[in-house]
Structure 1
Amino acid sequence: MPERGTVEDGGRDGDAARTEPTPDGGIALDGASAASGAEASTAGSTDADDSDTAHAADADSISIPLPRPGIVARIARRETRLTTRRGWALGLTVVFAAFGFLLATFSGSGVAPTGYEPVVASYVELATFLVPLAALAFGHGAVVGAAERGRLGVVLTLPVSRAETAIGVFAGRAAVLGSAVILGFGVPGLLLLREYGLAGWPTFAWFLFATVAVAVALLGIGVGISALAPTSTMALAGALLVWAWVALVHDLLAMGVLAALDGANGFVAVAVAANPVSTYRLLALAPTDAGGAGLAAALDGGLSVGVLVGVLLGWVALGVVVAAVAMRVKRI
């Protein structure tokens, strides 16, 4: 039986050496691949174990450890087109716009004396439940759903690494989700602009920024769940559990602990940072009177507006890192 790495069968082994993928889903670089192929063709007299060891060392040395921005951008554009074609962009925008128009229309008479702030407070309470649910639902099938349909396996046959794939998928879906939030809540905001003028528009613009930030943060968590889950059903169950925790359970437990500690400001800061939805609520209401007391307590605990933005960005990074690491070990 012919040994691996010999010159038997002509250049077939050299071609295989040039196209064999690296363990992380990337491919070998052309120059280094040619060198390894030439080395294999001249090593006909070596033992099979030695050639296997040398080939593994070559594969490790020429793998691509860092994501390439160009590749990530291509995968992101592809993911944006696919999700838009499947109706996610339109569906999310319609859902956000429908609730936004309802609040802007039916709360207008009750909030007319004070303008933007009560409407923004109502939007924040709505977004606290609706946006995380939409983001987690949008992200839970990003990896495992594509793997079950066979689409992810096709992508990984291309010269891309798994980390690049995970980051690109997240970036593409983040673009769709962020656009849906801006359009869905921004178009009803034009009613407020017509009703109350430009005086309070920065408050509403800040609400849009904070809502996009928390949507992308929860999307990153959803993509991480999708990369970890073995099936779409388990990914959906995990996403629903995370939504129940961040939107309902966490704040109830935090309030109970805070009451038991008789108002510890340090615990307020920890509780806010430990939940992206709590961070969002405080951040979105920071310019309003409704968020003054909560922000004051958080500031006493060491959280400023800049720190709150950094916390949400940290949640985004955590979800993407979990997705990238899980993709490296996921069997597809």
Structure 2
Amino acid sequence: MPERRGGDARDGPDGGIPDGGVAVDDAKAGTSTAESVADSTATGETAADASVLARLLGGLPRPGVVLRLARREARLTVRRGWALGLTVLLAVFAVLLATFSGSSVAPSGYDPVVASYVELATFLVPLAALAFGHGAIVGAAERGRLGVLLTLPVSRAETALGILAGRAAVLASAVVLGFGVPGLLLLREFGAAGWPTFAWFLAATVAVAVALLGVGVAISALAPTSTFALAGALLVWVWTALVHDLLALGVLSAFEGAGDLVAAMVVSNPVATYRLLALAPTDAASAGLAAALEGSGLSTAVLPASLLAWVALAGVVSAVALRRKQV
């Protein structure tokens, strides 16, 4: 199916010239004014950036179309029951931690309980997000559903972003509901004074879930088959959740004063970023990698920006890969 191009001519006062250009012919060359030159210069850099992105994606996505595709993907995803299973799984583990938090062998108070939740989410949430995303595109292509979707008047970039946005909404809802129920138990047991710490943890967990989901969707768009996509998702999970932090600690112990290098490694791993971000309001924020990163310039404000950058990068990679994928 033909794809939309960001540089296609459109009817308008500029005579169909893309990127805000100005049409000038021989008859009108003498009437060009300094105002048109100034406007072109002021908007040239922005138009050039938009043009590059449009050429990369095969046309700038239309937000309304992406939103409709996201709603469709969310409805289909909810019907499969996957989100319900994840919600129940998270709620069961979290309720157990919250229920036994009053015993002598379990954590007590918001900070210890949140620290326990972070350790649970560090392994479970990225695995669930990657598993949820690895078949989003290649699986739909193998079942023939993606080919049917691409017969509609939508671009492939819009399709990829719609799939990502729809699944992200469902995954975020599962995380909020799964951890929200025990959050109410914590509110009843410990009061509202420390509840912002739990809310911070919940927001950080949603952010890392969406970031790893984006990576999974990008893998799905790049992989030739579902088997390759599953293998890629598992490798990414092993690296981000298990191997990466050990490597960072090894670098830290081998090279004294390597805080800047470790900071770069943390930002390059969404799970490591999440761990530091979620524990930032707790007492655990002064231990481990967080203590080693003091003075490295890696602030709390950089951590959520890093996760947002992962989401944006994953969306662009998914759109470009789907554009070049044979369906």
Structure 1 length as normaliser, TM-score? Answer: 0.80
User: Match of 1:254?
Assistant: 248
* 1:100-147, Cα deviation, whole Å (9 max, x unpaired): 111111233248885100000000001000000000000001000110
* Rounded Cα–Cα distance in structure 2 between residues aligned with 1:238 and 1:269: 25
2:146 aligned with 1:152, yes or no? yes
Query: What RMSD over aligned residues (CA atoms) do the two structures have, in Å?
Result: 2.4
Tell me the SS of whatever aligns to 1:222.
helix
- Does the 8 A contact of 2:100 with 2:106 survive in 1? no
Q: 1:192 aligns with which of 186, 189, 193?
A: 186
- Does the 8 A contact of 1:117 with 1:288 survive in 2? yes
User: Match of 1:135?
Assistant: 129
Q: Give 5+ residue unaligned stretches, structure 1.
A: 1-20, 32-59
Tell me the SS of whatever aligns to 1:314.
helix
User: Match of 2:303?
Assistant: 308
**Residues 24, 30 of structure 1: CA spacing in aligned structure 2 closer, same or farther, 3 A cutoff?**
closer
Alignment of 1:217-296 (within 5 A): 217-293=211-287, 294-296=289-291
User: Match of 1:34?
Assistant: none
Report the Cα offset of residue 306 of structure 1: 0.9
Q: Could you tell me the percent identity over the aligned residues?
A: 73
Number of aligned residues: 283
* Rounded Cα–Cα distance in structure 2 between residues aligned with 1:306 and 1:65: 32
What amino acid sits opposite 1:229 in the alignment?
A: A
User: Match of 1:8?
Assistant: none
Q: Give 5+ residue unaligned stretches, structure 2.
A: 12-53
* Rounded Cα–Cα distance in structure 1 between residues aligned with 2:104 and 2:303: 31
What amino acid sits opposite 2:2 in the alignment?
A: T
User: Match of 1:51?
Assistant: none
Q: 1:124 aligns with which of 100, 118, 121?
A: 118
Q: 2:318 aligns with which of 315, 323, 327?
A: 323
Q: 1:81 aligns with which of 70, 75, 98?
A: 75
Tell me the SS of whatever aligns to 2:237.
helix
What amino acid sits opposite 2:114 in the alignment?
A: V
* 1:190-217, Cα deviation, whole Å (9 max, x unpaired): 1111110001100000000000000000
User: Match of 1:71?
Assistant: 65
* Rounded Cα–Cα distance in structure 1 between residues aligned with 2:241 and 2:4: 36
Tell me the SS of whatever aligns to 2:280.
coil
- Does the 8 A contact of 1:217 with 1:312 survive in 2? yes
Report the Cα offset of residue 298 of structure 1: 3.0
* Rounded Cα–Cα distance in structure 2 between residues aligned with 1:113 and 1:150: 49
User: Match of 1:42?
Assistant: none
Structure 2 length as normaliser, TM-score? Answer: 0.82
* Rounded Cα–Cα distance in structure 2 between residues aligned with 1:138 and 1:29: 39
Report the Cα offset of residue 296 of structure 1: 4.7
User: Match of 2:195?
Assistant: 201
- Does the 8 A contact of 2:101 with 2:108 survive in 1? no
Tell me the SS of whatever aligns to 1:217.
helix
What amino acid sits opposite 1:244 in the alignment?
A: V
- Does the 8 A contact of 2:129 with 2:171 survive in 1? yes
* Rounded Cα–Cα distance in structure 1 between residues aligned with 2:276 and 2:290: 6
